[in-house]
Amino acid sequence: MEKLVERYSVLANSASCASGAWRFSPGQARLIIKELPLTFEELENANFSSKLLKHDELSSVVEMVDFENDWDCCKIQANFIEGGLLLCISILHIAMDGAAITRVIQDMARYTCDNRGPVVKMSPATLDRSRLSRSSSIPDITKMPAFLILNEAFDFTSRVKGSISSTMYRLKNESVNQLKSDCSKGLPPDCPFISSHDAVCALLFRQKIKARVKAGIITPTDRVQYSFPVECRRTIHPPLPSDFIGNAVIFTATPFLLVEDLLKPEGLSLAAAAIRQGIKDVDADFIDNAIAVMRSLKDPKTLNYYGAIHGKTTGIASTSYKGFVMPNDWHPAIGEYQLMRLLHGGFGDGMFVVMPVRDSGWEVIVTLDEVAMDVFEDEQWNKYTIKIEV
């Protein structure tokens, strides 16, 4: 941990927000050590069920942060169990995005396994966030489809409250290939191709919409959108340093789609094409305008994420800047890990995440209101996926 702080000095900072501005101050990274009445064999027999990975036991992070007071940027909790160790690394998202956090975890694994080599400190450029505050655009909120401006901030915690249910499914490689082929059959002329990731997200988004219609949560005449984050280190002009440490992710979304169109047989291709177009729309001008909009607001808290306000008509993914092949450079350091899991209860209604599985496809975690989750599966969904009992 000491070596991590030497390399990533922001981990030893505290963060607070006053008058809409974030401030990072000298602080300290924290290491908490606990023993838990759990065995590795018990976890393995349960297929490492997320129900056994409860955040209030494995981490020392409260559900909500009071950002007006200083808050540690990094807390690491070492949970010793019989036959193993559950290491929970918690990094404040304001300080780093998923791409940077991934590098931190990789380095921590390397330092843990081999602490003989010298630590290479990050250059000042990798910690310089000033580029993210400069823009030449005239601010236009209509070009940010995932956001809207409200006079009052919205409490995002409402998205994780209530009777929600999460279920895991696996897509084998051959199923992913078949799904991509099926999605590609009805693509419009202005969308010549889609990725496998587009296809999987289209299936997930459309299936959630179908389930919400069956459950009476939305109707065929409603309009819905799919929202996702985009990592913009190389998109912004000029590009950020490749080893930039910070938060260089912005949410965007598809155009609004009519539910009854998504329910048609060609709805899968419609969703996939909309997702691909949403990705293509994020260019240097998109990022420049987003910075301009955020700089133009007297109170930054008035910029609200559309999916938080209108959760029932939004599908949210947290996947676009992650890799979808198991990264080989992690395995020797971490110990040949086999599966990825999220802590129990960490997602809200309408969210999903896609995770790679070694040599055998992908896994997805789906979270919905319980009444929608009860009617989520159908013949088309089961054509591509296998439910995982965890």
145 preceded by cis ω (within 30°)? no
Is residue 358 scored above 60 in pLDDT? yes
Of 122, 143, 162, the residue at which a domain comes to its end is 122
How far is C-alpha 135 from the geometric centre of its chain's CA atoms?
Answer: 26
What local confidence, expressed as pLDDT, does residue 289 receive?
96
What are 270's two structure tokens?
Answer: 């419609």
C-alpha dist (Å) from residue 163 to 214, 337, 371: 17, 32, 9
Q: What's the whole-model pTM score?
A: 0.84
pLDDT in tens, 267-317: 999 999 999 999 899 999 999 999 999 999 888 778 888 877 777 777 666
Higher local confidence (pLDDT), 339 or 2: 2
Bridge partners of 89, per DSSP, are 76
What local confidence, expressed as pLDDT, does residue 319 receive?
52
| Residue for token pair 């350091």 | 333
What local confidence, expressed as pLDDT, does residue 276 receive?
92
What are 77's two structure tokens?
Answer: 């909790």
Mean pLDDT of 132-137: 91
Please report, in angstroms and rounded to a whole number, the separation of the first and last CA atoms in the chain: 32
Is residue 221 scored above 50 in pLDDT? yes
Query: What span, in angstroms and rounded, lies between the C-alpha atoms of 330 and 109?
Result: 8
User: Which of 336, 335, 372, 334 is CA-nearest to residue 352?
Assistant: 372
- Backbone CA torsion sign across 147, 151, 153, 154: negative
Q: Are residues 95 and 174 both part of a single domain? A: no
The CATH number assigned to the domain holding 362 equals: 3.30.559.10
Q: Are residues 88 and 149 both part of a single domain? A: no
User: Which of 160, 12, 191 is CA-nearest to residue 95?
Assistant: 12
- Whether residue 104 contacts residue 8, with contact meaning beta carbons closer than 8 Å, is answered with yes
Q: Are residues 114 and 138 both part of a single domain? A: no
User: Which of 305, 311, 320 is CA-nearest to residue 367?
Assistant: 311
Q: Are residues 144 and 116 both part of a single domain? A: no
Of 97, 122, 147, the residue at which a domain comes to its end is 122
How far is C-alpha 232 from the geometric centre of its chain's CA atoms?
Answer: 14
User: Which of 47, 38, 41, 45 is CA-nearest to residue 338?
Assistant: 47
Higher local confidence (pLDDT), 305 or 191: 191
What local confidence, expressed as pLDDT, does residue 296 receive?
92
Is residue 185 scored above 80 in pLDDT? yes
Amino acid letter for position 77: Q
pLDDT in tens, 18-62: 766 778 888 888 899 999 999 999 998 988 887 888 888 888 776
Of 94, 122, 150, the residue at which a domain comes to its end is 122
Higher local confidence (pLDDT), 318 or 302: 302
314-317 and 223-231 as β-strands: parallel, antiparallel, unpaired? parallel
Q: Are residues 23 and 60 both part of a single domain? A: yes
| Residue for token pair 């910029």 | 303
Considering the chain, what is the average pLDDT of its residues? 83
Q: Are residues 194 and 61 both part of a single domain? A: no
pLDDT above 90 covers a percentage of the chain that reads 35
Q: Are residues 148 and 170 both part of a single domain? A: yes
Q: How confident is the model at residue 321 (pLDDT cuts 50, 70, 90)?
A: very low
What local confidence, expressed as pLDDT, does residue 25 receive?
86
Q: How confident is the model at residue 176 (pLDDT cuts 50, 70, 90)?
A: very high
Q: Are residues 21 and 144 both part of a single domain? A: no
What local confidence, expressed as pLDDT, does residue 322 receive?
45
User: Into how many domains does the chain fold?
Assistant: 2
Q: How confident is the model at residue 331 (pLDDT cuts 50, 70, 90)?
A: low
Q: Are residues 164 and 313 both part of a single domain? A: yes
Q: Are residues 27 and 174 both part of a single domain? A: no
User: Which of 310, 367, 361 is CA-nearest to residue 340?
Assistant: 361
Q: Are residues 256 and 211 both part of a single domain? A: yes
- DSSP-H helix ranges across the chain: 2-7, 40-45, 55-58, 98-113, 124-127, 173-184, 196-214, 259-262, 267-280, 284-296, 306-309, 331-334, 370-373, 379-384
| Domain assignment of residue 54, given as a range | 2-122
Mean pLDDT of 370-387: 95
- Backbone CA torsion sign across 293, 295, 296, 301: positive
Query: What span, in angstroms and rounded, lies between the C-alpha atoms of 307 and 207?
Result: 17
Q: Are residues 158 and 282 both part of a single domain? A: yes
